[in-house]
Amino acid sequence: MPDTSSRILVPVGESSTFRNTVAYAVREARRIAAETGEESTVHFVYPVRWQLVDESERSAADAVADALERARVWANDDLDYDDDGDLDAEDVSVSIETAVVGEDRYLFSPNDFAEVLLEYAHDRGLDRIVLDPEYQPGGSAPMLQPLEFELARSGLLVEEAPVDRVVERGRLPSRANVSKALAMFGVSFGFYLLLAGVFDTFNLVTGAVSAGVVTAVFARISFVNTPSATGTVARIARFLLYVPYLLWEIVKANFSVAYIILHPDLPIDPEMQRYRAAIWGDLSVTTLANSITLTPGTLTVDMDRDSLIIHSLTGSARDGLAGGALERAVRFVFYGRSAARIPTPAERGTIASWTDDDQTDGDE
């Protein structure tokens, strides 16, 4: 019977009911270990959505380590302290493991999260997944149901921990807070005044009212992470350095495309390529994909899990892409100078020509 499985995986995230989920998973592991006499194991796994490459991401890395450490402490508490009274801690062997997954790729859709979790479960021989009912890996985007669906397709036993939901949304860090509201208000107010062009009382008042409405409606959903003032200013400064560079690349490459198009022989050699970019995060991937499209000779066709599908017009455009100058520049904008030193796509071997065979492989 599948529900007697005692090899349990628990995805970890910020959630108000996670304490109870830990208790449930450990209780199940103990119950089954006591019934069957086999060793059971509970793995707490944290799928991260970003790459920990930069010092400014250090606090995020600490938060992940804290969450895993907390899960371990709680689980050990539950093992030592026997609340039923009919299980003897000496007889059962339950091991607790913690892990971080998804550091090396860009997790975006429920599909991506399910994939890294299942990969981990498969490697460790885990066959039961206990989900926290308030688990939200995608920040403010609702993701639990599609994630459950994707996980269940694998044939593993998937369940939501039967815990009482304590709704304390206001206190959780992924919900609306002051810096999100301030950032949203500032941006929309500034944009309004820019369009108005005149800073009289009427525009200031109507602008404040409009920006207030926008903030009330969108502050919760526009940001996944809480924006930090210094990080944002540094990013904008680096972005301003990036824009002239991008413009120059666009102009340069446009001349080569104009040459190709106006050439009597039309010397083109198009090809599709799959390109696994060393870029993590919604905004940075979008920036890279759009920059690639704007730089003539390369066109982003699709975003397939962690890789971009790119259509290139000529061989020299492909070489330029493999050289990774654009990717490095985007990394510099979003992660700072240290991240710009990661090797180029050609050196990493993460760029290859793409055919339909790859697609069928990926669906399995």
Partner 1 sequence: MTPLEYLVVGLVLAGVFFSFVAVVGIIRLPDLYTRAHATSKSDTLGTVLSLGGIALLFGAEVSAVKTVLLLLFMLITNPTAAHAIARAAHDQGIEPWTASDEEGD
Read off the tokens for 241. Answer: 């350095």
Residue span binding partner 1 (CB under 8 A) among the ranges 8-16, 124-132, 191-199, 343-351: 191-199
To partner 1, the closest distance from the beta carbon of 356 in angstroms equals 8
To partner 1, the closest distance from the beta carbon of 219 in angstroms equals 22
Binder to partner 1 among 229, 236, 237, 258 (CB under 8 A)? 258
- CA 206 – CA 209 distance, rounded (Å): 5
For residue 13, give the nearest of 78, 73, 60 by alpha carbon: 60
Binder to partner 1 among 211, 219, 278, 313 (CB under 8 A)? 313
Rank residues 105 and 311 by Cβ distance to partner 1 and give the closer one.
311
Does position 211 bind partner 1 by CB under 8 A? Answer: no
Question: 332 phi and psi, to 5 degrees?
Answer: -60, -40
CB count, 10 Å around CB of 297? 23
Rank residues 158 and 326 by Cβ distance to partner 1 and give the closer one.
326
Rank residues 252 and 341 by Cβ distance to partner 1 and give the closer one.
252
Rank residues 338 and 353 by Cβ distance to partner 1 and give the closer one.
353
Rank residues 29 and 279 by Cβ distance to partner 1 and give the closer one.
279
Read off the tokens for 53. Answer: 């490459």
Restricting to residues 259-288, which ones interact with partner 1 according to CB under 8 A? 261-262, 266, 268-272
**Size of site (CB under 8 A) for partner 1:** 33
User: What DSSP line would sit under 73-129, residue for residue?
Assistant: HHHHHHHHS-SSSSS-TTT--EEEEEEEE-TTS---SHHHHHHHHHHHHHHHT--EE
Does position 40 bind partner 1 by CB under 8 A? Answer: no
- CA 31 – CA 173 distance, rounded (Å): 34
Helix/strand/coil (H/E/C) assignment for every residue in 209-239: HHHHHHHHHHHHHHCCCCCCHHHHHHHHHHH
Does position 182 bind partner 1 by CB under 8 A? Answer: no
CA 66 to mean position of chain CA atoms: 19
Q: Which residues lie near partner 1 (CB under 8 A)?
A: 194-195, 197-198, 250-251, 253-254, 257-258, 261-262, 266, 268-272, 289-290, 293-297, 299-302, 309, 311, 313, 356
